[in-house]
Amino acid sequence: MLSTMQDVPLTVTRLLRHGSTIHGTSQVTTWTGEGEPQRRSYAEIGSRAAQLAHALRDDLGVDGDQRVATLMWNNAEHVEAYFAIPAMGAVLHTLNLRLPPEQLAWVVNHAADRVVLVNGSLLPLLAPLLPHLAPVEHVIVSGPGDRSLLAGAGASVQVHEYEELLAGKPESYDWPELDERQAAAMCYTSGTTGDPKGVVYSHRSIYLHAMQVNMAQSMGLTDHDTSLVVVPQFHVNAWGLPHAVFMTGVNMLMPDRFLQPAPLAEMIESERPSHAAAVPTIWQGLLAELTAKPRDISSMKQVTIGGSACPPALMEAYDKLGVQVCHAWGMTETSPLGTIARVPAGVGADEEMGYRLTQGRFPAGVEARLVGPGGEHLPWDGESAGELEVRGPWIAGAYYGGAAGEDFRPADKFSEDGWLKTGDVGVITANGYLTLTDRAKDVIKSGGEWISSVSLENELMAHPEVAEAAVVAVPDDKWGERPLATVVLKEGASADYDALRSFLAERVAKWQLPERWAIIPAVPKTSVGKFDKKVIRRQYADGELDVTNLSDQG
């Protein structure tokens, strides 16, 4: 027996139509760095998205599922591309502008991007790559920048001005009726090991993910809110926020290229957002700025932090400022929302922080399991640690095959029965709260026991003199592996290793205490702001770190 319900496809087009009509007065505000910010209503975004679709089809010949890439900051024009490209049946490919140039060229060629939409300020990045981007036929430039850098682009690449392409085009478009399982957008992983891998999102997965983002026990935003979207639009679709807000009318404040702590503090004070989303390093920098130069951030009620674990000390510091930090976990392959740490009902005030410091609880759309080293499935008892595997309607089931043909499912990334192997090690409580203890590749295997590098880092970053800390496993003749603690001190601080180790000794088991220590100027970061521990391991192996071994000192 089948249902009597209408079969209406869940597409990005529906989000565009809804947001630009029902929530037509909501705004995308783009920070300009000086003078009045650019303000554009959702209705205007809808009209301009239609004009962009006409330009891509009529002037540039995009008439199918060709890939249209964006190399852009977070701004209104990027939002227009977010909707126009998938809604017309093409595929949006957001390019990570922080990838090394050779990786950036690799992903453009692998995805076969035919068109690149670029902010003028990023032409110094794109121009040297163009001779190596074989599929690219058109470059569309938006905003100020030195166009002369494209003079050597070659006869095979045509250069266009964004506003000139849109000028005079109709403000409505006959959007095609699309299959909801059709590709809408794609992102590539940051390629910390091997080449980046392409993840292709369907219209259906984006729509369902947007619904989950809007749940009250998720980000829970309404048209009374303004969200400061610091997380880049090239980083897993800005965590789904541009799609989610068109569903509910939340206003967006876009920082463009002004991502430093001082302009972010100025944006918050001036534009009064109630919510923001970014990785922990952004909030650490902003906290330092606010400590040095206090601003009025009283409008900010909540912050969503993901990408890597939020140090407890950072969470507590924002609590004192009246801003509640909400932890979330996800990855490129999970669209990204996998868990979010809302405190359950019936919990007393003294228990709340324990829940907030977890990665959060799984929503209905994400199934999870823990797998032990022998492949056994582990219980959800809050103690049994294993690798997290997930599946669901917005979870990747394969990687994009590109020129190689079919999509591929490497055995280290997907189980035989189709679950995504996240590479994260953790525990899950009986009521579905996830606590990650490490990445599988970063856990320290010492004398037959596991030491969580993340736990040591969080405890070290609670020290008043420590700005950042990263802990990695290094070879040890006796124990196999031992932790190396690399520490970034706050400006003017002078904590010594013995003091740091004593501080840590009050918080972790004695056998977990690092013997090897190094002060470093900054923790290396990946293109999406995560700690890049492979760099630290290489620096240690090559003797580039000034390491003190306290066990050598008796």
Structural tokens at position 227 = 């969200």
509-521 burial, b at 16+ Cβ within 10 Å, e below that, comes to eeebbbbbbbbbe
- Is 173 buried (19+), middle (13-18) or exposed (0-12) by CB count in 10 A? buried
Relative orientation angle of helices 280-292 and 312-320, to the nearest 10 degrees: 40
> Cα–Cα–Cα angle for 261, 267, 268, nearest 5°?
90
**Secondary structure element (H or E) that encloses residue 411, with its range:** none
Q: Give residue for tokens 């992903």.
A: 107
Distance CA 80, CA 302 (A): 27
465-498 burial, b at 16+ Cβ within 10 Å, e below that, comes to ebbbbbbbbbebeebebbbbbbbbbeeeeebebe
Tell me the catalytic residues.
Answer: 189, 333, 445, 450
Segments of 57-180 assigned E as strands:
67-71, 91-94, 113-119, 138-142, 158-161
What is the per-residue DSSP string for 449-516? EEE-HHHHHHHHTTSTTEEEEEEEEEEETTTEEEEEEEEEEPTT----HHHHHHHHHTTS-GGG--SE
Q: How many CA atoms lie within 13 A of 522 on its CB side?
A: 8
Task: Label residue 74 left, alpha or beta by phi (over 0 means left) and psi (-120 to 50 means alpha).
Answer: beta
Q: Are the C-beta atoms of residues 397 and 389 closer than 8 Å to each other?
A: no
- Is 263 buried (19+), middle (13-18) or exposed (0-12) by CB count in 10 A? middle
Beta-carbon contacts of residue 222 (< 8 Å; ≥ 6 apart): 248, 249, 250
Q: Are the C-beta atoms of residues 314 and 466 closer than 8 Å to each other?
A: no
State the pairing for strand pair 377-378/367-371.
Answer: antiparallel
